[in-house]
Amino acid sequence: MGLLSVVCVSLFFSSTFAVDRGNFKTCDQSAFCKRQRALKPGQSPYRALLETLELSDSRLTLQLINDNNKVHLLLELYRLQGNMTRVKINELKPLKPRFEVPDVLIAEPPTEPLSVLSKDDNGVVLSLGAENQRLIVSARPFRLDIMEGPEVLLSLNSRGLLAFEHLRLHKDTLDFSLPGVEHVYGIPEHADDLKLKTTDGGDPYRLYNLDVFQYELYNPMALYGSIPVMLAHNTQRTMGIFWLNAAETWVDISSNTAGKTVFGKMLDFVQGSSEKPQTDVRWISESGIIDVFIMLGPKPSKVFSQYASLTGTQSFPPLASLGYHQCRWNYNDQEDVKSVDQGFDQHDIPYDFIWLDIEHADGKRYFTWDPHKFPQPKEMLQGLMDKRRKMVSIVDPHIRVDSGYKIHNEITSKDFYVKNKDGKNYEGWCWPGNSGYPDFTKPEMRAWWASMFAYDQYEGSMENLFTWNDMNEPSVFNGPEVTMHKDALHGKWEHRDIHNIYGLYVQMATAEGQIQRSGGVERPFVLTRAFFAGSQRYGAVWTGDNAAEWDHLKISIPMCLSLGLVGVSFCGADVGGFFKNPSTELLVRWYQTGAYQPFFRAHAHLDTTRREPWLFGPENTALIREVIRQRYALLPYWYQLFYQAHKTGMPVMRPLWVDYPKDTATFTIDDEFLIGSDLLVHPVTEEGSRGVTAYLPGAEEVWYDVHTFQKHNGAQNLYIPVTLSSIPVFQRGGSIIPRKDRVRRSSTCMENDPYTLYVALSPKKFAEGELYIDDGHSFNYDTKKEFIHRSLTFANNALTSSNLCPDCNFLTSSWIEKVLILGASKPSKVLLKMDGKETPVDFEFDTSMSVLTLRKPGMNAGADWTLLLQ
Amino acid sequence: MTCLHLLLTLVFAVSLGTPVEIQRPRGVPLTKKQFYEESKPFTCLDGSRTIPFDRVNDDYCDCKDGSDEPGTAACPNGSFHCTNAGYRPMFIPSSRINDGICDCCDTTDEYNSGAKCENTCKELGRKEREVLQKMAEITKEGFLLKQQLIEEAKKGQQEKQSKVTDMQENKKQLDEKVEALRTVKETAEQPEKEAKERHLKAWEEQKAAIRLEKDKAKMAETFLELDDNEDGFVSVSELQSHAELDPDADGTLTEIEAQGLMGGAEQVDTSTFESVWPKIKDKYHSEAEEPAPVETPPDEVKEPVVDNDSEPYPEDDISEEEDEDDEDEDDYHEDDDKVMCLCVVQAQPTIKTPEKTHEDEEAMPPYDADTQALIDAAQKARDDFEEAEKALREMDDQIRNIEKELSFDFGPDAEFTYLYSQCYELTTSEYIYRLCPFNRVSQKPKYGGSETNLGTWGSWSGPENNKYLLMKYEQGTGCWQGPNRSTTVKLTCGKETVVTSTSEPSRCEYLMEFTTPAVCQEPANIDPSPHDHVEL
């Protein structure tokens, strides 16, 4: 008789902790990239047919011919208002129409007249407006050069790489040459340095929204989002290239100086023989047309406003969303939410949002609640509302295929799912198992999706519930490279055409839903993982599933800086690191860094141990409490910077070179950054660090340590000894920063609290700043001009508040409780001039640090007043 | 413009039923009243500076320790005192003053925020008293039960102790008995062995004789079979017809090879065949019998049965637990990091032994009566010995078990003894949790599935002043990419011994709440009449 024995073998395939590169393509494995990249610079087969040139007022068209295959292309050129040029190239008679990306530009960009200066057989010279700029179209081979005075700013097809594949699917390539440029930035999202590297000998930077498991750092692999915008910068000029194409795209960068040593460059300089430094960029896209916006700057701020004029600015977030967010995969149930909420109060740590990940929904059916874990969502939300706090629940775009699920049934009956190539609903695996993917490219689908956020549709939701869109690359577990098959269909277009914009549409529809549920009154808050050019209009972005490692903390800085340069200011990384368990030191350092980044959220993987701020002993709880409080005290400044970003497109978190564009020492710095123009932050991102060296920019500047008020001169590398409690932050001399130093349980609780003004004097005893106040959550600032915007100026020993928006109308009960003047001298008397009256103000003077403190001047924050130092 | 003045409050403290008005600045507890005298400048409680009294509670922070603003939110580190008459007084961080959230049940923290707070102190006081009263009753009854438990445990312990002593005495006797029986056994086994050997030897000899005879008969038979022409000789050619005799196994028996087998002769007669026979008898196939069938060994039954769990997506509707499992194992859908359980159901190979076709050996004849008697005697001695030895082992086990039990830390008064070798269950919506104190904690899916070990008994791990409030169970089943599961059991006073809740506050770290009379403290001997809190 045989004995049955059961042998159970557990096989644990443990790979090293890293991305599985085999899952993701290299350029060589991507047929079109390999083929197009194999084209070598040389004589372009394209020729401009000058006789076909047509010039209307602001539009020039011209045919190009490929002498090898006689296919004609149509070139369109536009001069856009605000110093931009648009170049479109499409097939004159395509076999199949090519996709042109909609919904990214906020409007058809307004044009300016173009005029022909000269024309002969070799080419045409066009005038580009009043700025002494010309555009030269060379006929044989075809190339474009943009000149200002005698200088070439940028050339297209100078290396002859323009290519359109016709018979195959629509691949296209174009090269750009940037004479005089050694520093290029942007094209997020990559886990890499701020300054883009040359790609010779390696893979190009890839733009293809992918759900990358345990991504690796310092390489050009694609990540969750794509913004095909590159900035080129030198001491003279900043320019931008916006390649409007939503298909898979690869970007090659080469430079004639990349290989040279500093000595080599110096030799070139001394001998005067040097070729001019030049960066060459090649864009390769799998489908679509060539539609390029060349933003000619010349200042960094001008490039930001140019790009903002095309794709819009950062949405103005609710004030509370700039506070601290507590997230975890997952807060288990209502009890857990309650006890974490209480934990913050017990440990006197402020927070504004607690988050629920996928486990909160009933079987990963978004818009529902797990009946056992979250039986009373409204009770839970009311409990948070009583504490003036908020919640975010996750709503992902993969929909469980389940005939008992309302959302699925409605999408099916409305025929809103993406189709596969056979015309059936496309299905893939994601968190709920078999899932459908709504076709967010359809406006009717987006309208319906938005309507699902209505309070009567999303049962259990309340006005303090906001949304998180994850997995919207889209992530398809069993799809190629963990995403959707390229031949899936969105109406008549293939997924390959629209891939990179899918995530933008998800966030767009969700944000719209939040606006609609309040009758258009309340500002939305939606976090997204996938993004595209224009995503800044809809909310916040985070850098995805990072890890509890020091290098991941470091990379959060260049990753968010890169996003800020191309419009997305509301950026953050998971504090603590998503995968793995951080050491206590790493966790504290991450809080210190995250508190000074725009989107400040702690998050952790399901398999990690709990890490709420109070779980690491009283000393560390105190350190974390302190830095979260610093964040809350600075909320007025953050809010004002977001208002500015919303109005002008200026990034909130910036590389130093944006404010010091002529200082070459700043061009590669990405371990420190500016918040606005006035705060310089050098987070400590090294384990066991005893000190950091911060570069303080600006020969004319002074910088004040915000903790000690010690003054340091600009244009120096400053060594700062650090302990675990140190966060090196400096305020620029010449600035005024309003703070709310009374930190409470949440930002909403601080609404009526008084301000303290931190006036940091420049060497010329001057300072200026702004104060922006509104209700913090509605669109009334926009629709009813209900806000206070004041200019604060310190000059000639007088600090004055004057109104920047006299026709605005908002009342605040906040007042000015204290004014600190850093770098001041001791006055004999201080007077407050207001409403024609003068009243003396008490003050104290600290001689050691030259800090003058004005005690309780007491004026309303919205009033006109002057403080006189005598 | 907001300007807050020194706000004096009227505080009602109830003492002996007589309300007394005590004036002091807002937020100051009675214990610190003497530091806030309106007629004098105020010195910060840390002594750092002295300020005019009108700067106390003027909504501006002058003292580093926050002591000048007990009633406003001006200082980051201040604290506000609410009297909460009818309930219990408390301090709150001063950042909670006028923040729009009602913290003090007497509403005094929200005097200028517009928040609509109701005085709930009386209600809270009443509820608290109810709870306290109930708790007191439970404690009282629980404590009585605890006394019984202690009594029983002591008794049980003594019993066990004396039982062990008794058993150890018995064991000594048993030891001796085993030794005596061993000698008896060995003495009986010696003659048994000799008699058996004799019997066997006789049988072997008999068998050899029979075999020889059979071989001879076979040889003769073979000779006749080979001698095809019946001329009384076996020739080379006759032998060659038996290819199986081929010595080099090339399939043919050549003439030379046949001659070799026949010792070089062309032919052999019956007597000379005797020298040929040993060379061929092993290979020779009788013409009369069929070639022996070749036994093919049965295929081993070894089909890997892949567990359903490792299929990433079961077709049917995914239930909650499976959902979770999927995430456990697939996590971020990364195949390489997946835990796979390859379950192989293996049948022990049942090798069919071919039935013996040649019953050429007869069975050994039975033992003669004398030998059999010796065997029977030895067997009896063996049985007796084994029985005694088994009894000894059992007694050892019993002693060890009792000693093990006695070695556990069952609390200062052995009050936890009664939990030993018991199990308590709690059924939730998904799982059945099982706590076997001092042994292990486990979890089993309600609707089928295998049990998961959430930890085996580790130690008492309560705070230093009372370690018996928490039990720690450790080294349970490992978690994917995580630690081994562990459980903390929190003990609270209750009349009944029952698991009241379970949770998993952190991944794979479980928390179980458990009530038992064993932790009930002696009730304070205070008259539980309604007590108003009087601050002094």
pLDDT in tens, A700-757: 999 999 999 999 999 999 999 999 999 999 999 999 999 999 999 999 999 999 999 9
Chain A stretch 10-29, residues whose beta carbon is closer than 8 A to a beta carbon of chain B: 10-15, 20
Q: What is the mean pLDDT of chain B?
A: 80
Annotated catalytic residue: which of A145, A192, A470, A663?
A470
In this complex, is the C-beta atom of A609 within 8 Å of any C-beta atom belonging to chain B?
Answer: yes
In this complex, is the C-beta atom of B415 within 8 Å of any C-beta atom belonging to chain A?
Answer: no
What residue in B sits closest to A350 (Cα-Cα)?
Answer: B95
For residue B10, the distance in angstroms to the closest alpha carbon of chain A comes to 26
| Residue B310 confidence (pLDDT) | 38
Distance, CA of A610 to CA of A619 (rounded, Å): 18
Rounded to a whole number, what is the largest CA-CA distance in chain A? Answer: 110
Taking CB atoms and an 8 Å limit, are A213 and B343 in contact across chains? no
- Whether A864 sits among the annotated catalytic residues: the reply is no
Residues A212-255: tens digit of each pLDDT: 999 999 999 999 999 999 999 999 999 999 999 999 999 999 99
Taking CB atoms and an 8 Å limit, are A387 and B507 in contact across chains? no
CA B2 to chain CA centroid, Å, is 65
- How many CB pairs (< 8 A) connect A and B? 147
In this complex, is the C-beta atom of A335 within 8 Å of any C-beta atom belonging to chain B?
Answer: yes
Annotated catalytic residue: which of A172, A396, A497, A545?
A545
Burial of A1 (0-12, 13-18, 19+ CB in 10 A): exposed
- With vertex at residue A754, the alpha carbon angle to CA A751 and CA A760, rounded to the nearest 5 degrees, is 120
pLDDT confidence bin for B523, thresholds 50/70/90: confident
| Residue A694 confidence (pLDDT) | 98
pLDDT confidence bin for A690, thresholds 50/70/90: very high
Taking CB atoms and an 8 Å limit, are B345 and A482 in contact across chains? no
Are A145 and A136 in contact, with CB atoms under 8 Å apart? Answer: yes
Cβ neighbours of residue A139 under 8 Å, at least 6 residues apart? A47, A48, A49, A50, A121, A122, A123
In this structure, the number of other CB atoms found within 10 A of the CB of residue A404 comes to: 10
| Residue B207 confidence (pLDDT) | 87
Distance, CA of B413 to CA of B151 (rounded, Å): 9
Are A653 and A706 in contact, with CB atoms under 8 Å apart? Answer: no
Q: For residue A15, which residues of chain B lie inside 8 Å, CB to CB?
A: 336-337
| Residue B250 confidence (pLDDT) | 76
| B255 φ/ψ angles, rounded to the nearest 5 degrees | -60, -45
Distance, CA of A495 to CA of A484 (rounded, Å): 7
Distance, CA of B323 to CA of B342 (rounded, Å): 20
pLDDT confidence bin for B410, thresholds 50/70/90: very high
Q: For residue A2, which residues of chain B lie inside 8 Å, CB to CB?
A: 301, 347-350
Taking CB atoms and an 8 Å limit, are B95 and A745 in contact across chains? yes
Q: For residue B56, which residues of chain A lie inside 8 Å, CB to CB?
A: none
Q: For residue B5, which residues of chain A lie inside 8 Å, CB to CB?
A: none
| Structure tokens that stand for B319 in this block | 């239930």
Taking CB atoms and an 8 Å limit, are A6 and B327 in contact across chains? no
Residues B299-327: tens digit of each pLDDT: 444 444 334 443 344 344 444 443 433 33
Taking CB atoms and an 8 Å limit, are B76 and A742 in contact across chains? yes
In this complex, is the C-beta atom of B256 within 8 Å of any C-beta atom belonging to chain A?
Answer: no
Q: In angstroms, what is the C-alpha Rg of chain B?
A: 47
| Residue A171 confidence (pLDDT) | 78
The Cα-based distances of A310 to A104, A106, A313, A567, B426 in angstroms read 8, 6, 9, 11, 62
- Assess whether pLDDT exceeds 70 at residue B344: no
Q: For residue B76, which residues of chain A lie inside 8 Å, CB to CB?
A: 629, 741-743
Bigger pLDDT: B533 or A531? A531
Taking CB atoms and an 8 Å limit, are B93 and A7 in contact across chains? no
Burial of A263 (0-12, 13-18, 19+ CB in 10 A): exposed
Residues A100-130: tens digit of each pLDDT: 999 999 999 999 999 999 999 999 999 987 6
For residue A665, the distance in angstroms to the closest alpha carbon of chain B comes to 40
Chain B stretch 468-497, residues whose beta carbon is closer than 8 A to a beta carbon of chain A: 479-483
Taking CB atoms and an 8 Å limit, are B99 and A608 in contact across chains? no
Are A155 and A198 in contact, with CB atoms under 8 Å apart? Answer: no
Distance, CA of B106 to CA of B85 (rounded, Å): 7
| Residue B367 confidence (pLDDT) | 85
Mean pLDDT of A453-458: 98
- Assess whether pLDDT exceeds 60 at residue A161: yes
- Whether A470 sits among the annotated catalytic residues: the reply is yes
Mean pLDDT of A760-782: 98
Which of A817-831, B228-242, B416-430 is predicted with the least confidence, judged by mean pLDDT?
B228-242
Q: What is the mean pLDDT of chain A?
A: 94
For residue B532, the distance in angstroms to the closest alpha carbon of chain A comes to 26
Q: For residue A856, which residues of chain B lie inside 8 Å, CB to CB?
A: 58-60
| Residue A130 confidence (pLDDT) | 66
Helix and strand numbers (H, E) in chain A are: 15, 53
- Assess whether pLDDT exceeds 70 at residue B330: no
- Assess whether pLDDT exceeds 80 at residue B25: yes
Are B199 and B368 in contact, with CB atoms under 8 Å apart? Answer: yes
Taking CB atoms and an 8 Å limit, are B348 and A752 in contact across chains? no
Mean pLDDT of B60-82: 96
Q: For residue B430, which residues of chain A lie inside 8 Å, CB to CB?
A: 372
What residue in B sits closest to A212 (Cα-Cα)?
Answer: B332
Chain B stretch 272-311, residues whose beta carbon is closer than 8 A to a beta carbon of chain A: 301
Distance, CA of B473 to CA of B488 (rounded, Å): 6
Mean pLDDT of A264-293: 79
| Residue B368 confidence (pLDDT) | 84
Rounded to a whole number, what is the largest CA-CA distance in chain B? Answer: 154
- Assess whether pLDDT exceeds 90 at residue A99: yes
Residues A548-563: tens digit of each pLDDT: 999 999 999 999 999 9
Taking CB atoms and an 8 Å limit, are A4 and B346 in contact across chains? yes
Interface probe for A, chosen from B506, B510, B511 (most Cβ of A below 10 Å), is: B506
Burial of A41 (0-12, 13-18, 19+ CB in 10 A): middle
| Residue A169 confidence (pLDDT) | 61
Taking CB atoms and an 8 Å limit, are B340 and A545 in contact across chains? no
In this complex, is the C-beta atom of A132 within 8 Å of any C-beta atom belonging to chain B?
Answer: no
Pairing of strands A526-528, A540-542: parallel
Q: For residue A547, which residues of chain B lie inside 8 Å, CB to CB?
A: none
Of B3, B330, B347, the CB nearest to A858: B3
Of A741, A754, A856, the CB nearest to B76: A741
Distance, CA of A138 to CA of B204 (rounded, Å): 114
Query: Is the predicted ipTM greater than 0.85, yes or no?
Result: yes
Q: Is the Cα dihedral A180, A185, A191, A192 positive or negative? A: positive
Are B349 and B300 in contact, with CB atoms under 8 Å apart? Answer: yes
If phi > 0 it is left, if psi is from -120 to 50 it is alpha, else beta; for residue A124 that is: beta
Chain B stretch 99-128, residues whose beta carbon is closer than 8 A to a beta carbon of chain A: 99-101, 113
| Structure tokens that stand for A16 in this block | 């090293």
| Residue A170 confidence (pLDDT) | 67
Pairing of strands A133-138, A143-148: antiparallel
For residue A813, the distance in angstroms to the closest alpha carbon of chain B comes to 7
In this complex, is the C-beta atom of B54 within 8 Å of any C-beta atom belonging to chain A?
Answer: no
Please state whether the predicted TM-score (pTM) of the whole model is above 0.80: yes
In this complex, is the C-beta atom of A545 within 8 Å of any C-beta atom belonging to chain B?
Answer: yes
- Assess whether pLDDT exceeds 60 at residue B56: yes
| Residue B269 confidence (pLDDT) | 82
| Residue B274 confidence (pLDDT) | 82
Distance, CA of A354 to CA of A186 (rounded, Å): 32
Residues A659-682: tens digit of each pLDDT: 999 999 999 999 999 999 999 999
pLDDT confidence bin for B23, thresholds 50/70/90: confident
